[in-house]
A = this chain, B = another copy of it.
């Protein structure tokens, strides 16, 4: 399909602006003036819309079908939320509007803060972080501020993570200026307590943990884990990416965690738009509250206001008060369920266990437990027996009309297939997905080429990721655009994490 730039034609116009007569002329000093115009696309609106309509038809979303991308919680995105976020009172509100002209926005944010505190079982919430990974970084900054405040700033220099951790956790540790220590996983998929004990000491600032873990398993010793850290004065950070498993069932605060981030775009149904937006509010225990970002939304009598007067705050991690539109959608989602959030999580867990039950005799199950909202299988046997990888299985699923699960993650499971159905899928879809995976396992034995060359039914065949990285063509080059056609293609894809 053509790039939008390849539809361009000199002098063609899309939108037009109002023309105001008789105004002073715009005068940019010569040396600051644009020397040559940016080569933006030149096409009329009809073709513009067609181009993006065509692009959309080459894309798969939750609206298209089942999207069990593990750790990403791809649930239905209610259209009413899109309607609500488009109310002029929300979408056309300037963030510098005086508080008296933003009471509705402030109230919504305050209510969301309260809800997230209740769901997490903690005391204070900042909505500012723009995504889970920024929530992590903010959480680590809070630890830093907390220990500095206690005079332990120099001493506490290490963060412990699990070997099942999402890549954002170690990356955040580095960006926050901490050292990283990794803890192993025991045979039931819990943190290895012995390993953990050996790594936690008075230099430890804290733990970062996802629970249920990225294996989809709840850590059975979570109380012991919390004790180990708290005993040395360290803090516990909860990566809330898997909150969809436990809303109303178990709360991070009750487990002993001190800081939590919540991926609003996962548990609370923010459409992810092919990469984002998201929201990563953090919820913290009392003692960390003084350090959370400014401004904070507070209730003040009958009204609401922004509190900037927080002398021990770490400062700001993002502009203004965070991605407001995301709050509107997630608040709406939560209000649709109310205390029924528990049934939401129960159903997510039921759906996952149903898939697991139907698949575990055919694919390898590294940890034989009931799962939470997701589970991890392995294609190890397929690989050994037929040379079929998790990647091949994933590509073949496309031909059956499904988005593949997350693969090659978590790292401790070879040939991992990480499957998360979410609560909004009907049984029919789950059954069809199982049937496809079972058929694929048979095909792996009977017609392995079918898998290795998959997908067959998508707008493109398997794409060469190695060529992309080598050539690094990252923008259109107009007349000078490199012509790849004719190059030898070996559609190699990296057997690395795809998803989560």
Out of B47, B53, B429, name the residue touching A426 (CB < 8 Å). Answer: B47
Judge whether A46 and B428 touch: CB under 8 Å. Answer: no
A40-78, CB < 8 A from B = 43-47, 49-50, 53-54, 57, 62-65, 76, 78
| A47 closest partner in B (C-beta) | B426
A346 to chain B, nearest CB (A): 16
Which residues of A are in contact with B by a Cβ distance under 8 Å? 7, 9, 12, 43-47, 49-50, 53-54, 57, 62-65, 76, 78-79, 424-426, 428-429
**CA–CA, A426 to B9, complex, Å?**
10
**CA–CA, A361 to B294, complex, Å?**
74
Judge whether B46 and A53 touch: CB under 8 Å. Answer: no
**CA–CA, A53 to B61, complex, Å?**
11
Out of B45, B47, B57, B63, name the residue touching A50 (CB < 8 Å). Answer: B63
**A426-B57 CB under 8 A given contacts A49-B79, A50-B64:** no
| A63 closest partner in B (C-beta) | B53
Q: Can you offer 5 A-B residue contacts whose CB atoms are under 8 A?
A: A44-B424, A45-B76, A49-B79, A50-B63, A53-B64
**CA–CA, A355 to B44, complex, Å?**
20
A58 to chain B, nearest CB (A): 11
Judge whether A44 and B426 touch: CB under 8 Å. Answer: yes
List residues of chain B with CB within 8 A of the CB of A62.
46
**CA–CA, A49 to B57, complex, Å?**
16
**CA–CA, A245 to B445, complex, Å?**
64
A62 to chain B, nearest CB (A): 8
Judge whether B426 and A43 touch: CB under 8 Å. Answer: yes
**CA–CA, A429 to B46, complex, Å?**
11
**CA–CA, A368 to B424, complex, Å?**
61
A83 to chain B, nearest CB (A): 10
List residues of chain B with CB within 8 A of the CB of A78.
45
